[in-house]
Structures are given as structure tokens and as C-alpha cells.
A and B are shown apart, each in its own frame.
Chain A
């Protein structure tokens, strides 16, 4: 009973937002990297 009471629901909305955050991170970092390459920096 106590164990059930102490169970915390998985924050699915938070996980969804963090996945979006991860995608934005990869896209923006990659964009900066490709821009750097396009400027001729090796």
C-alpha cells in the first residue's frame, strides 16, 4: 500500500520536451559545424 502511494508517475511531458531539446541541440550544433566547414575552416 505504502509502496504504491510512494510511486511517482513518469513525467511523459517532460520526457517529450527533453527529446525535442535534444533534437534542437543536434540541429543547431550541426548547423554551426556545417557553417564552419562552408567557411573553409578545416
Chain B
């Protein structure tokens, strides 16, 4: 059964659609611009710290020049992870989504105050967490595993960032709900739907980290209880920690499916497949966390096997994405005269920095995805667990697939928000390529160091007494990659700041929207209906986590003292 138009009587009973005015757009754009500006500012600090880490690994110690602001390698590493993986991503995503949803629905935010409040709570959270982090009172890395213990204000601040992002999500849900009331029987616009699915997945996944902080870490760090339970803490963290990866990726998918084809003359190859992919991610993203805990005692193998199975099932929507997105681009390239099995690739819009950055991000994600399948394989995971392979992997996912895509989005979004021309498009193109080359070199080196030599992650390799001379070629390769990344980051901020001060554009930059290749293709109702997917996702979480969480909570032992190891 497909989504179809309602009768005239149904339409007559529907509320009159609220028009989208310039004032409404200005409100949404102010939220988007502020959020993205804060995210990009966090990234600037985070990337700088990343360069210092990479150079430390080849014996160039820059930390002595930044005392006391960056007290130790681990102080810097914590800020690098938090600012890049949590702050940059979350603030950028909230800004991008706020910009996109009002345009997708062609209606204003239902409760703009809610989205403003959400951003305000995120900012208060960021500032609250920043104080202990900057003062080296929360150097527990971005996974904040207990029994390492941070100042209570760090946990509170991170909680507020998450709660603020929830509010942003609620703002989108209310807006989509209002649109549905105003347009009975019409299929939900693809971009608005996928934005909302991403935020629904985020709401479900972040329940884990919210529970960890509220019930374990905050009472412990405030001295209300004397000890904590590391296994329960890690379990609740990974309830959130793996779907966090999809929270980074799905906004990139929104762009790859719904925007990028339009930037190269293409069309969305199959809206049905695209919708199915997002619903599957809502269904399957959360109950997979035990594949991060293969080496943790206290979780029976059967539960790890169940989570492994669900993890591998996520390969299905990932392969669907690879097919649908590439086919959507191929449609565009062939329309421009591309021929042959591979000749069409040359016809893609490589001269456009926004397009090129996102296509290069996809290429890096090929290797990030393959690394992910390796990580999820039980015996292989034991070989690479806690080695520097893992940072190699997530630099190809969050720092490449997501972040390079976000840069590409910024190359049309920054001009759209500022109403100014993109500054130096050729520099922007060079930025995309240098980031691609840098991540390719660094990612390759870190993977090989972890796999062949077991070089540890989260370690000052440059001063490790056990470091082998055999590591040196790979560490050098990584340092060359880091150098490319430092150049790339410099180019990024030159382009972005230059755009802020560039002359006003005569032409309005609009959000690219890819039309479906076959607009007459009907959308089955089950691909436009929330109920089965939301209930399915909750049920699967209850089945995959419920019994183990019950057991861990029943047997909780708040006996582990806190450690400050820095």
C-alpha cells in the first residue's frame, strides 16, 4: 500500500499550512550559523592539538611550548577527542539540520524558542565542561571510562550538551508533526524525514550515556557515593558510543543521498531504497555496543555474539548506500556525456570544492567501512583491540567520511548563511585534496602499526621506551599525513574566514536538492510510517540489552575508587 492523497474532506479538515517567511528563515539561519560557528571554532583547537600528537609520535615535542594551557599529552588528547568528536560534530549537525529542515518542509520551525533554548543549553554545557578540561581537571579522554575520574562539572557539562541536542531534535519532531497535520496523506519530504530519523536514533542512543552520567558518574564525582562500577559504566557508555558513530555518519548520508547528486547533475536513484536505509539505521544502530566490549569480562559470549550479529546486519544498509549514492552520481555523469564502466567518473563535478570534498570523503569511507568490519570480527578484534589501528579506523570514519563531508557542505552552506561568495574556491579545492591525502597517509600508517606491531593507542609513542625502530617508517608516514592535515586545516580556516569578509553575493545560494530519478515511483506506506520502526528499535534494544543491564544493575558493585592518573 502506497502513500496516497486524502479526500477533499480530509484536506478541508487539515490546518492551513503555515508559510515560510524571510523572518522565519532568518531565525533558523541564526541558530544554524551560531551553532556551526561554535563547532568550527572547537574544531580549530581540536585539530591543532591533533597535529601536536602526530608530531610527538616522531619525537617533535611541542607541548613544552604550550605550558600550562596544555599540561600533558593526555590533557591535549582529551581536548582533541572531546572538541573534535563530540563538540564539532554535534554543533555542526544541529546547525546543518536546522538549516535543512525548514527548507525541506517549506515551513517555519514549530517552536523556534525550543531550538534556541536547545542551542543555549548546548553552549552552557560546553562552557561548563570547558572549565575542568582546560584546567586539566578532566583529562579522562573522550570516552571518560571510569574508574578514571573527572571533575563533576565535566560530566554535567557534557550532559547539558546532549540535553540541548535533544531539544533541537524535539524542535524538528514538532515541526515535522505540524507539517504532517497540514499535509494529510502526503509523503514526508525526504530531507526532513531523514533529519528526524537521525535525531530519533540519537534520542534512543543517548539514553545510555545519560544514565551512566546521572546515576553513576555524577553521584560518584560529587562524593555522594564512594566508588563506581566500571563494567556497568562501560556498558552504558557503549550503548551510546557506537550509535554515536551513526550520528556522525547519517548527516553525511543525508547530504550524499539528497543533495550531492544535484551538485553533479544527478538524481536520487531510488528514494525507496534511501528511505529503507535510514529506517534500518534507526532499527539497528543501538543494540550493537558489546562489540566494543569483546575483551570485557562479565558479559557472556552469547550476548556478545548477538550484538556481533546485529553489527554485521548494519553492513546491509551500508551496502545499499554505496549502491544508491554511487548510482545517483552515475546518472548525473552519464547525463553530462560520461561513458563506459569507469569513464563517467571523469565527468563528475570535481572542480567544485563542495562536491569534490564529499566524493573524496566517500572514497576514504570505503576503507573506514572495511576496517569497521574487521573490528567487529571477534578474533580480529582481539588482534587490533586497543592498538593504534583503532584511531586509524575512526580517523577514516568521523574525521574523513563525516568531517570531510561537513567541509563540503560548508562550501555551499557558509555562502548561503553569510550571503557572501565563497572565498578562493581553488583554495577550498586544495583543502579537500590535502585532507584526503593526509588522512589516507595517516590512516594507512596507523592501521599497519596496530596490526603488524601492536603499537598501542592513547600513548605518547614518541617517548615510549618499548618503541621499536621497525615502527619508524610508519610513524614518519603518519607525520607526513599530519603535515598535510595541518596545511589542509589552515586552508579551511582561510577559506571560511575569507568568506565571512568576502563581498556580498549577487546570486542567492540555495540548498542543493536532488530530485528522485523516478518521481512517479510510489512510496510504500511502511517506508513513510514511524510506528513500526520506532517500536522495532525500542524492542530490539530491550531484547539485546535488557537482560544484561538488569543483571549488571542487580549485581552492581560500587567499590572501585576513582583514579586521577595524569
Contacts and interface: CB of A to CB of B under 8 A. Distances in A.
Contact of B323 (A8, A18, A32, A33): A18
Contacts, number: 68
A28 B338 CA distance: 30
Given A12-B341, A13-B342, A32-B451, A39 B383 contact: yes
A36 B322 contact: no
Given A29-B373, A32-B383, 20 more contacts: A6-B518, A8-B517, A8-B518, A11-B327, A11-B331, A13-B333, A13-B338, A13-B340, A16-B341, A18-B322, A18-B323, A18-B326, A21-B366, A25-B373, A29-B374, A29-B377, A32-B374, A36-B383, A41-B382, A41-B383
Interface in A26-42: 28-29, 32-33, 35-36, 39, 41
A20 to B, nearest CB: 9
Given A6-B520, A17-B326, A29 B370 contact: yes
A28 to B, nearest CB: 5
Contacts of A28: 367, 370, 374
Contacts of B454: 39
A18 B341 CA distance: 11
Interface in B471-521: 517-518, 520-521
Nearest to A35: B451
A25 B370 contact: yes
Given A32-B380, A32-B451, A41-B379, A14 B518 contact: no
Nearest to A33: B380
Nearest to A5: B520
Interface size class of B (residues with CB under 8 A): 20 to 34
B345 to A, nearest CB: 7
Interface in B405-454: 451-452, 454
A17 B326 CA distance: 9
Contacts of A16: 341-342
Please list the 7 inter-chain residue pairs (A to B) with the smallest Cβ-Cβ separation, ordered nearest first.
Answer: A11-B327, A36-B383, A14-B327, A14-B326, A16-B341, A11-B330, A13-B330
B279 interface: no
Interface string B517-535: 1101100000000000000
Contacts of A8: 269, 517-518
Contacts of A32: 374, 380, 383-384, 451
A2 B518 CA distance: 12
B142 interface: no
A36 B330 contact: no
B174 interface: no
B353 to A, nearest CB: 23
A24 B344 CA distance: 21
A31 to B, nearest CB: 9
Q: Is the interface of B mostly helix, strand, loop or mixed?
A: helix
Contacts of A2: 520
Q: Which of A11, A24, A35, A39 has the most CB of B within 10 A?
A: A11
Interface in B31-57: none
A30 B520 CA distance: 44
Contacts of A11: 269, 326-327, 330-331
Contacts of A14: 323, 326-327, 330
B374 A13 contact: no
A35 B448 CA distance: 10
Nearest to A25: B370
Nearest to A26: B370
Contacts of A24: 366, 370
Interface in B301-333: 319, 322-323, 326-327, 330-331, 333
A10 to B, nearest CB: 9
A29 B333 CA distance: 31
B193 to A, nearest CB: 22
Interface string B349-378: 000000000000000001100100110010
Q: Which of B331, B341, B454 has the most CB of A within 10 A?
A: B341
A36 B379 contact: yes
A18 B344 CA distance: 15
A29 B312 CA distance: 14
A2 B520 CA distance: 10
Given A13-B340, A39-B383, A21 B517 contact: no
Contact of A13 (B344, B377, B517): B344
B380 A36 contact: yes
A21 to B, nearest CB: 6
A6 B519 CA distance: 9
A24 to B, nearest CB: 7
25 contacts: A6-B520, A6-B521, A8-B269, A11-B269, A12-B341, A13-B330, A13-B334, A13-B341, A13-B344, A14-B323, A16-B342, A17-B342, A24-B366, A25-B370, A29-B370, A29-B373, A29-B374, A32-B374, A33-B380, A35-B383, A36-B379, A36-B380, A39-B383, A41-B379, A41-B382
A29 B374 CA distance: 6
Q: Which of A28, A32, A39 has the most CB of B within 10 A?
A: A32
Contacts of B383: 32, 35-36, 39, 41
A36 to B, nearest CB: 4
Contacts of B451: 32, 35-36
Contacts of A39: 383, 454
A11 B341 CA distance: 9
Interface string B198-217: 00000000000000000000
